[in-house]
Amino acid sequence: MSVYHCAFTSTRTLYSSSFTPSRTFRILHRHRSNISDFHSTMPHHKKRSGKKEHKWTQKPGSDLSADAAEFRPAASAEGITNGIGRLTMVENNAQSPVVPVIQFGGIRLDELAPHGQSPVGKPKVYGTVSTATVDDSKKTVDTAAQTLGFSKLFNSNLLEKFTVDNSTYSTTKIRATFYPKFENEKSDQEVRIRMIEMVAKGLATLEVSLKHSGSLFMYAGHEGGAYAKNSFGNVYTAVGVFVLGRIFRKAWGTEASKKQAEFNDFLEREHMSVSMELVTAVLGDHGQRPREDYVVVTAVTELGNGKPKFYSTPEIIAFCRKWRLPTNHVWLFSTRNSVTSFFAAYDALCEEGTATSVCKALDEVADVSVPGSIDHIKVQGEILEGLVARIVSHESTKEMELVLKDYPLPVDEVHQDLGPDLREICAANRSDEKHQIKALLENTGASFCPDYVDWFGIDASDIHPRNADRSVVSKFLQANPSDYSTTKLMEMVRLMKEKRFPAAFKCYHNFRKINSMSSDNLHYKMVIHVHSDSTFRRYQKEMRYKPDLWPLYRGFFVEINLFKASKEKAAEMAKTSIDVGINNKNSDDISGKKGLADEDANLMIKLKFLTYKLRTFLIRNGLSVLFKDGPAAYKAYYLRQMKIWNTSPGKQRQLSKMLDEWAVYIKRKCGNRQLSSSIYLSEAEPFLEQYAKRSPENQALIGCAGDLVRTEDFLAIVEGGGDEEGDLDTEKILEPSSPGLDSIQKKEGLIVFFPGIPGCAKSALCKEILSASEGLEDDRPIHSLMGDLIKGRYWQKVADERRKKPYSIVLADKNAPNEEVWRQIEDMSRSTKASAVPIVPDSEGTDSNPFSLDALAVFIYRVLNRVNHPGNLDKSSPNVGYVLLMFYHLYDGKNRSEFESELIERFGSLVKMPLLKSERSPIPDSVKTVLEEGINLYRLHTNRHGRSEPSKGTYAKDWVLWEKQLREVLFRNADYLASIQVPFEIAVDQVLEQLKRIMKGEYITPISEKRKFGTIIFAAIDVPIADVHNLLSNISENDPKVKTFIENNIVNNLQKAHITLAHKRSHGVTAVANYGRIVNQKVPVDVTALLLSDKLAALEAQPGSIDGQKITSKNEWPHLTLWTAQGIPPKEANTLPELVLQGKATRIEFNPPFTITGVLQFH
């Protein structure tokens, strides 16, 4: 294995980049003459001692010097100066509208390319070729005349007066974006298998990087803006800019100001953004408070040529070394042996791994290890969040070699006075968030942050709020697209709105364009904020049907320009847009994935460590459960999480003991006042440190604790208590709290409940179950509690009934529509020793709701046919449609599969009540339309008024009209709605049959697709127990003493047999992991002798070969332990050869040896 001294990216979530190696490296060689000054300032770094050097060899036939081309001239300094200082105030003039030239790469098209050349397909560059100076005097907006002009503009309601017609055009400019959130449709195990298969066949290489624990920060230069995950102009981005600016000062010393300005200009001119993991102690606690505040580059993106293009790993290294930006550790696995060993190493370390042990193990099993420019242990600490593994080109090793030769490591940091650090600034400025932001930006310096427009707007920003009206999006979609990129972005936004994906399109005034605004020329910034991970999954599904769709990115920020254009200008834009579109389509057709199918190119898996998860998910995210619901609910929460993760039984016991003690400790210390999640480590770290000192077992459980960095005095002030990264939310809770329903015991009670919607026939079903109780073949008493007849807290009443009649069956005749209710039922099941069974109406569902529109139509139709309903929800109710839409939206965000899986995971079983016939006509357009109109109206109403009654809101008249139209449409389609329903008698029979199977213990829980890998402790050859018994029978035939010994000690006690090859405690993780290449394969074993003593018995064994390769055991004496006396641990069998020499044991040799066959497995 080889080690290279270089930098690499560690992403928040990596995504396979579109990468064409031949194109990239022709570019690298093409520009050697242009970056010669870079080589002179960055000498090769000395090799670290003790590291082996990799011998690079060039592939035959590769011509890296071919296709030389001229380097594109650098844009002029004038073309990249700040727009605010450059532009002049534009008066309203309908006769002469301002029509901007289409922009690519941050400057005007006519400034970007020489005459006659297309800007598309520009060569990749990693740094400036000529320095563009920046005049700071042009960077500020601070005059009374401008303030007066701004006031005039804002007070004239430009957007409201801006009308969309045939001459209206829109231009967009993506300012920052991060990798799409890709969700594997296959299980983790299937992804692993496919990854190993691709590497083994030479189709790909597996690339693995460390996962630093911080927040997403994106930077597009001072003009382009600084962005957090879903926002900008706040303390998160101010911290990011300060830390990045300080990185430049550390790396460049006296040249820092010049390089900062050059970097800003370069990103603006080339229209690029850089994504980073921002790791800092001032923005709230993750798994460990970092020792230093820093950034790690995770992505570099070209934004100026149509669809964003993400740099490959070698390209990122070149870019970062040019600018001396921090990057991370990467490992490459290009053989079957190495990739299987990697997964085995992770499984061996997943419950105890820290940065030191993980990096050491991966260094030993990887084909290539490329250390980064920063050390996780030195800057972050030992607690490692995880690893990210993804499939990349099989030529990645060669591509890396070319970059490392052309871009040596930068020189070490320059030691100089850097001024106050981040923590000192935050500590000295704690009056409010605005004051803290201003102090951070001032200390960043004018060369990197010349003005504060993105944070505070213009000096007269109080004249008009930053937020823009929602109509920006609608007018954007109505306008004509001026170029290819705008067309594709419109397509994306339109699709998401039409499909009602959970996402917001938040628009803001673009103060940087204030000088060019007029009544016919408006500028905005749009943030595409995805609210749910389901949006990415649903969007990916749409991309399969529409391959030309652009991906949905995370951290998505776009500038929008709405303007009027003359016919001549419109024609010119149309031609340019067509040309650019053709070029982009052609470039997209050239596979950047080196022949990998999309499904394979996107293969990625995230692997987290328990030492991190116990802090963030079990302690931090469990605080709200502990303080709100108490220790019992907290215990249920953490046990559920551990089951989701498939934590080993031993670790579950250790963690349970520790977390119970933590709950008592923190409740006693804080009382009823919940500990803040943002500073939870102030209490958790000292507790963990003391707990770890008690025993080596505790130390391994905790991983590392101590040396706490206190943040209370310098924590950044976040108004509203927001969490930009969003990882303070608890993971999905799925573990069944009910006793195993595969074998319900009659001494327990049973709760039958209904996650449904009014009109799903639960009350009628309960009556049928009561009348047919004898048919259930269960002698427990059964009774029903109807929610509409019970006053007060319904579920408390059910719990009371359960305590009175603990062995009864309760039919909870009330809708149980959300996780809050399910959690109450779980708690009730535990406290009253009952099982719980959900009965749900069967429906195909939609992409975001477990109930389809035709199911919703049937439910509403049934309610409208009710009379004298106890809950007053019948045909006499004026708001039937609204009430059912309210219930319908309680399930929003889960498709049918997710809905059913969660119920099964929580409660262990699921009963489906047939609702709609499988062979039925499609829902009539009129019914579909009226329901969709109601859904839209409901969303408008709740967005503005929350849960207020429809009669009290802005849309009161709309509700009245819609309710009337709903009734008319449904009754007009009464025959259709009646014809598509499964007859009620058939539905009842099927429900009763399913309930009977559950009560008799015949229910089979569906197989879960969740990850089922456990931690690996040792590698062994598992031998069939029957073969061992046969062997012992053959041995005992010739020796009565041996026969007696075997019959007395072994025959009834030997339940399983294996030959240990390597144990991670004795031989190390790598020794165990190296068997990964032959796991699950059959291994012949020669049994050569039987060794006996009064306390031990074992078979001496010699593993054979697989495909001609000898399998060797790391044990000095390979053996199969048969028996140990009471109180003697199995490892003592290793002493038998020595006991034979001492005369304290007997050796019976077999000549010839017996041969048995086992299977190599991890345990």
Distance CA 753, CA 762 (A): 9
Distance CA 914, CA 991 (A): 8
Count of alpha carbons within 13 angstroms of residue 143, beta-carbon side: 12
H, E, C per residue of 670-722: HCCCCCCHHHCHHHHHHHHHHHHCCCHHHHHHHCCCCCCCCCCCCCCCCHHHC
Distance CA 826, CA 736 (A): 8
Q: H or E segment at 1099?
A: strand 1096-1103
108 bridge partner residues: 103
What token pair was written down for 209?
Answer: 């990087």
H, E, C per residue of 354-398: CHHHHHHHHHHHCCEEECCCCCHHHHCCCCCCEEEEEEEECCHHH
In sequence order, the 6+-apart residues with CB closer than 8 A to the CB of 1105 are 1084, 1111
Residue 387 Ramachandran class (φ > 0 left, ψ -120 to 50 alpha, else beta):
beta
Q: Treating both helix axes as pointing N-terminal to C-terminal, what angle do 819-831 and 794-804 enclose, rounded to 10 degrees? A: 20
Distance CA 296, CA 668 (A): 39
Task: Choose, from 124, 139, 211, 564, the residue flagged as catalytic.
Answer: 211
Distance CA 1012, CA 381 (A): 29
DSSP classification of residue 1068: -
Contact 404, 685 (CB under 8 A): no
Q: How many CB atoms lie within 10 A of CB 646?
A: 14
83, 114, 490, 503, 704 from 294: Cα distances, Å: 30, 40, 36, 31, 21
Distance CA 411, CA 250 (A): 11
Which amino acid is it at 45?
H
Per DSSP, helices labelled H in 445-483 are: 453-456, 471-478
DSSP classification of residue 75: P
Which has the closest alpha carbon to 528: 473, 487, 464, 454?
473
211 is catalytic: yes
Contact 538, 560 (CB under 8 A): no
For tokens 């603990």, name the residue. 806
Which three-class secondary structure state does DSSP give residue 1159? strand
653, 686, 724 from 704: Cα distances, Å: 19, 11, 27
Phi, psi of 172 (to 5 degrees): -115, 155
Contact 931, 857 (CB under 8 A): yes
Instruction: State how far Cα 820 lies from the chain centre.
Output: 24
In sequence order, the 6+-apart residues with CB closer than 8 A to the CB of 364 are 1, 1070
Contact 165, 479 (CB under 8 A): no
Which has the closest alpha carbon to 765: 635, 914, 908, 905?
914
Instruction: State how far Cα 847 lies from the chain centre.
Output: 19
862 bridge partner residues: none
Distance CA 540, CA 551 (A): 8
Which three-class secondary structure state does DSSP give residue 859? helix
Which residues participate in catalysis according to the annotation?
A: 211
